[in-house]
Amino acid sequence: MHEVRNIECAVEALDQLTHDTRLIRLAVVDGDPLEFSAGQYAKVVFPNKVEKYYSIASLPGDKGIEFHIRRSGEGTSSSHFVLDELSVGDPVTVTAPMGNSYFRAEHRGAVLCVAGGSGMAPIRCIVETALRDEPSREIHLYFGVRDEQDIYLEERFSALAETHANFHFTPVLSEASGDTERRTGFVHEAIGEDHRNFAGWKAYLCGPPIMVESVAKLLKERGVHEDDIYADAY
Protein backbone atom coordinates (compact mmCIF):
# COMPACT_ATOMS: atom_id res chain seq x y z
CA MET A 1 0.00 0.00 0.00
CA HIS A 2 2.89 2.34 0.72
CA GLU A 3 6.46 2.59 -0.48
CA VAL A 4 9.00 1.23 2.01
CA ARG A 5 11.58 3.97 2.64
CA ASN A 6 14.79 4.49 4.56
CA ILE A 7 14.23 7.72 6.49
CA GLU A 8 16.91 9.70 8.31
CA CYS A 9 15.53 11.09 11.57
CA ALA A 10 16.64 12.79 14.76
CA VAL A 11 15.29 12.31 18.27
CA GLU A 12 12.89 15.19 18.94
CA ALA A 13 11.56 14.19 22.39
CA LEU A 14 11.79 11.44 25.00
CA ASP A 15 8.89 11.08 27.43
CA GLN A 16 8.27 8.61 30.24
CA LEU A 17 5.00 6.72 29.79
CA THR A 18 5.36 4.31 32.73
CA HIS A 19 8.11 3.14 35.07
CA ASP A 20 9.55 0.94 32.30
CA THR A 21 8.16 2.34 29.03
CA ARG A 22 9.35 5.38 27.13
CA LEU A 23 7.92 7.32 24.23
CA ILE A 24 10.44 8.29 21.57
CA ARG A 25 9.41 10.91 19.05
CA LEU A 26 11.49 11.35 15.92
CA ALA A 27 11.63 14.27 13.52
CA VAL A 28 12.19 13.47 9.85
CA VAL A 29 15.30 15.38 8.75
CA ASP A 30 15.52 14.21 5.14
CA GLY A 31 12.52 13.80 2.83
CA ASP A 32 8.77 13.77 3.25
CA PRO A 33 6.88 12.53 6.32
CA LEU A 34 6.31 8.79 6.54
CA GLU A 35 3.22 7.48 4.77
CA PHE A 36 1.75 4.38 6.41
CA SER A 37 -1.45 2.71 7.54
CA ALA A 38 -2.47 2.60 11.21
CA GLY A 39 -1.13 -0.57 12.81
CA GLN A 40 2.04 -0.97 10.75
CA TYR A 41 5.60 -1.13 12.10
CA ALA A 42 9.15 -0.03 11.28
CA LYS A 43 12.74 -1.15 11.53
CA VAL A 44 14.66 1.31 13.71
CA VAL A 45 18.45 1.62 13.77
CA PHE A 46 19.87 3.52 16.77
CA PRO A 47 23.27 5.26 17.11
CA ASN A 48 24.72 2.14 18.76
CA LYS A 49 23.98 0.28 15.47
CA VAL A 50 21.42 -2.02 17.12
CA GLU A 51 18.35 -2.46 14.93
CA LYS A 52 14.92 -3.36 16.21
CA TYR A 53 11.34 -3.56 14.92
CA TYR A 54 8.74 -1.37 16.63
CA SER A 55 5.08 -0.65 15.98
CA ILE A 56 4.33 2.93 14.98
CA ALA A 57 2.39 4.84 17.63
CA SER A 58 1.92 8.13 15.77
CA LEU A 59 -1.03 8.70 13.44
CA PRO A 60 -0.94 8.71 9.63
CA GLY A 61 -0.45 12.31 8.58
CA ASP A 62 1.72 13.26 11.57
CA LYS A 63 4.97 14.98 10.64
CA GLY A 64 7.00 13.02 13.18
CA ILE A 65 7.20 9.31 14.08
CA GLU A 66 6.51 7.92 17.57
CA PHE A 67 7.31 4.60 19.21
CA HIS A 68 6.61 3.15 22.68
CA ILE A 69 9.62 1.20 23.91
CA ARG A 70 9.49 -0.98 27.01
CA ARG A 71 12.53 -2.22 28.92
CA SER A 72 13.09 -5.90 28.27
CA GLY A 73 15.86 -8.41 28.76
CA GLU A 74 19.29 -7.59 30.10
CA GLY A 75 22.64 -6.31 28.90
CA THR A 76 22.94 -4.02 25.89
CA SER A 77 19.55 -4.55 24.27
CA SER A 78 18.05 -1.73 22.25
CA SER A 79 15.42 -1.08 24.93
CA HIS A 80 18.12 -0.40 27.54
CA PHE A 81 19.94 1.92 25.16
CA VAL A 82 16.75 3.88 24.44
CA LEU A 83 15.74 4.13 28.09
CA ASP A 84 19.18 4.89 29.52
CA GLU A 85 21.39 6.49 26.86
CA LEU A 86 19.46 7.89 23.91
CA SER A 87 19.36 11.70 23.85
CA VAL A 88 17.46 14.41 22.04
CA GLY A 89 19.24 15.18 18.77
CA ASP A 90 20.66 11.68 18.28
CA PRO A 91 20.39 10.33 14.71
CA VAL A 92 18.05 7.38 14.08
CA THR A 93 17.29 5.60 10.81
CA VAL A 94 13.77 4.29 10.20
CA THR A 95 12.81 1.82 7.48
CA ALA A 96 9.04 1.71 7.03
CA PRO A 97 6.22 0.93 6.67
CA MET A 98 5.88 -2.83 7.14
CA GLY A 99 3.20 -5.26 8.33
CA ASN A 100 -0.25 -6.48 7.31
CA SER A 101 -2.08 -5.95 10.62
CA TYR A 102 -3.19 -2.50 9.58
CA PHE A 103 -6.60 -0.92 10.11
CA ARG A 104 -9.20 -1.86 7.48
CA ALA A 105 -11.00 1.46 7.11
CA GLU A 106 -13.56 0.08 4.67
CA HIS A 107 -15.11 -2.08 7.41
CA ARG A 108 -18.13 -0.33 8.94
CA GLY A 109 -18.99 -2.86 11.65
CA ALA A 110 -17.89 -2.99 15.28
CA VAL A 111 -14.19 -3.11 16.12
CA LEU A 112 -12.40 -4.79 19.04
CA CYS A 113 -8.92 -3.54 19.93
CA VAL A 114 -6.80 -5.33 22.53
CA ALA A 115 -3.39 -4.14 23.74
CA GLY A 116 -0.97 -5.71 26.17
CA GLY A 117 1.79 -3.52 27.62
CA SER A 118 3.65 -1.53 24.96
CA GLY A 119 1.43 -3.24 22.38
CA MET A 120 -0.67 -0.15 22.99
CA ALA A 121 1.45 1.68 20.39
CA PRO A 122 -0.26 0.43 17.20
CA ILE A 123 -3.60 0.00 18.97
CA ARG A 124 -3.60 3.66 19.99
CA CYS A 125 -2.88 4.52 16.36
CA ILE A 126 -5.72 2.32 15.10
CA VAL A 127 -8.27 3.60 17.63
CA GLU A 128 -7.58 7.29 17.06
CA THR A 129 -7.41 6.89 13.29
CA ALA A 130 -10.71 5.00 13.26
CA LEU A 131 -12.48 7.62 15.37
CA ARG A 132 -10.97 10.47 13.38
CA ASP A 133 -12.16 9.01 10.08
CA GLU A 134 -15.57 7.76 11.32
CA PRO A 135 -16.56 9.30 14.70
CA SER A 136 -19.65 7.08 15.04
CA ARG A 137 -17.78 3.78 14.63
CA GLU A 138 -18.32 1.33 17.54
CA ILE A 139 -14.96 0.52 19.13
CA HIS A 140 -14.15 -1.44 22.29
CA LEU A 141 -10.58 -1.08 23.58
CA TYR A 142 -9.20 -3.40 26.26
CA PHE A 143 -5.79 -2.72 27.80
CA GLY A 144 -4.26 -5.70 29.60
CA VAL A 145 -1.45 -4.89 32.04
CA ARG A 146 0.00 -6.39 35.20
CA ASP A 147 -0.71 -3.61 37.69
CA GLU A 148 -1.77 0.01 38.12
CA GLN A 149 1.70 1.38 37.37
CA ASP A 150 1.65 -0.16 33.89
CA ILE A 151 -1.37 1.77 32.61
CA TYR A 152 -0.72 4.73 30.34
CA LEU A 153 -2.69 7.03 28.00
CA GLU A 154 -5.69 6.61 30.30
CA GLU A 155 -6.57 10.30 30.32
CA ARG A 156 -6.43 10.37 26.54
CA PHE A 157 -8.78 7.42 26.12
CA SER A 158 -11.11 8.58 28.90
CA ALA A 159 -11.46 11.90 27.08
CA LEU A 160 -12.27 10.08 23.85
CA ALA A 161 -14.90 8.01 25.66
CA GLU A 162 -16.53 11.20 26.98
CA THR A 163 -16.87 12.65 23.48
CA HIS A 164 -17.70 9.39 21.66
CA ALA A 165 -20.53 7.37 23.21
CA ASN A 166 -19.62 4.54 20.82
CA PHE A 167 -16.06 4.19 22.19
CA HIS A 168 -15.39 2.11 25.31
CA PHE A 169 -12.05 1.84 27.17
CA THR A 170 -11.42 -0.94 29.71
CA PRO A 171 -8.10 -1.49 31.50
CA VAL A 172 -7.67 -4.95 33.03
CA LEU A 173 -5.11 -5.79 35.75
CA SER A 174 -3.76 -9.35 35.79
CA GLU A 175 -1.62 -8.97 38.93
CA ALA A 176 -3.19 -6.20 40.99
CA SER A 177 -0.97 -5.53 44.03
CA GLY A 178 -3.72 -4.01 46.17
CA ASP A 179 -7.43 -3.30 46.39
CA THR A 180 -8.76 -1.85 43.16
CA GLU A 181 -12.05 -0.92 41.53
CA ARG A 182 -10.66 -1.84 38.12
CA ARG A 183 -11.35 -5.05 36.26
CA THR A 184 -8.94 -7.81 37.26
CA GLY A 185 -7.88 -11.14 35.80
CA PHE A 186 -6.82 -11.94 32.27
CA VAL A 187 -7.93 -9.59 29.52
CA HIS A 188 -9.55 -12.34 27.41
CA GLU A 189 -11.71 -13.27 30.41
CA ALA A 190 -12.98 -9.68 30.73
CA ILE A 191 -13.76 -9.58 27.02
CA GLY A 192 -15.65 -12.86 27.28
CA GLU A 193 -17.70 -11.58 30.21
CA ASP A 194 -18.73 -8.44 28.30
CA HIS A 195 -19.52 -9.87 24.86
CA ARG A 196 -21.21 -13.10 23.81
CA ASN A 197 -21.17 -12.78 20.03
CA PHE A 198 -18.65 -11.04 17.78
CA ALA A 199 -20.16 -11.94 14.41
CA GLY A 200 -19.40 -9.17 11.92
CA TRP A 201 -16.61 -7.63 14.03
CA LYS A 202 -12.99 -7.05 13.14
CA ALA A 203 -10.31 -7.37 15.83
CA TYR A 204 -6.83 -5.87 16.21
CA LEU A 205 -4.55 -7.45 18.81
CA CYS A 206 -1.03 -6.51 19.89
CA GLY A 207 0.97 -7.67 22.90
CA PRO A 208 2.47 -10.80 24.48
CA PRO A 209 1.94 -14.05 22.51
CA ILE A 210 -0.11 -15.73 25.26
CA MET A 211 -2.50 -12.77 25.37
CA VAL A 212 -2.87 -12.65 21.60
CA GLU A 213 -3.46 -16.41 21.39
CA SER A 214 -6.03 -16.41 24.21
CA VAL A 215 -8.03 -13.51 22.78
CA ALA A 216 -7.91 -14.91 19.24
CA LYS A 217 -9.17 -18.30 20.47
CA LEU A 218 -12.09 -16.66 22.28
CA LEU A 219 -13.01 -14.56 19.26
CA LYS A 220 -13.04 -17.53 16.88
CA GLU A 221 -15.25 -19.43 19.31
CA ARG A 222 -17.68 -16.52 19.32
CA GLY A 223 -18.16 -15.75 15.69
CA VAL A 224 -15.12 -13.87 14.35
CA HIS A 225 -13.71 -15.29 11.14
CA GLU A 226 -9.96 -15.92 11.32
CA ASP A 227 -9.40 -13.52 8.41
CA ASP A 228 -10.96 -10.72 10.49
CA ILE A 229 -8.39 -11.03 13.30
CA TYR A 230 -5.24 -8.95 12.78
CA ALA A 231 -2.52 -9.62 15.31
CA ASP A 232 1.09 -8.79 16.18
CA ALA A 233 2.56 -10.77 19.06
CA TYR A 234 5.83 -9.84 20.76
77 — pLDDT class (breaks 50, 70, 90):
low
pLDDT at 78: 60
| Sheet-wide strand order for 5-16 | 51-55, 41-45, 91-98, 5-16, 21-28, 65-70
C-alpha 219/C-alpha 214 separation (Å) is: 9
- In the chain, the domains with their CATH numbers are 5-98 (2.40.30.10), 111-233 (3.40.50.80)
C-alpha 172/C-alpha 146 separation (Å) is: 8
pLDDT at 50: 86
76 — pLDDT class (breaks 50, 70, 90):
very low
30 — pLDDT class (breaks 50, 70, 90):
confident
C-alpha 231/C-alpha 119 separation (Å) is: 10
pLDDT at 146: 97
Across residues 35-51, what is the average pLDDT?
95
Residues 6+ apart with CB under 8 A from 141: 113, 114, 115, 123, 127, 157, 167, 168, 169, 170
Q: Is pLDDT at 13 greater than 60 in this prediction?
A: yes
pLDDT tens per residue across span 86-137: 999 999 999 999 999 999 999 999 999 999 999 999 999 999 999 999 999 9
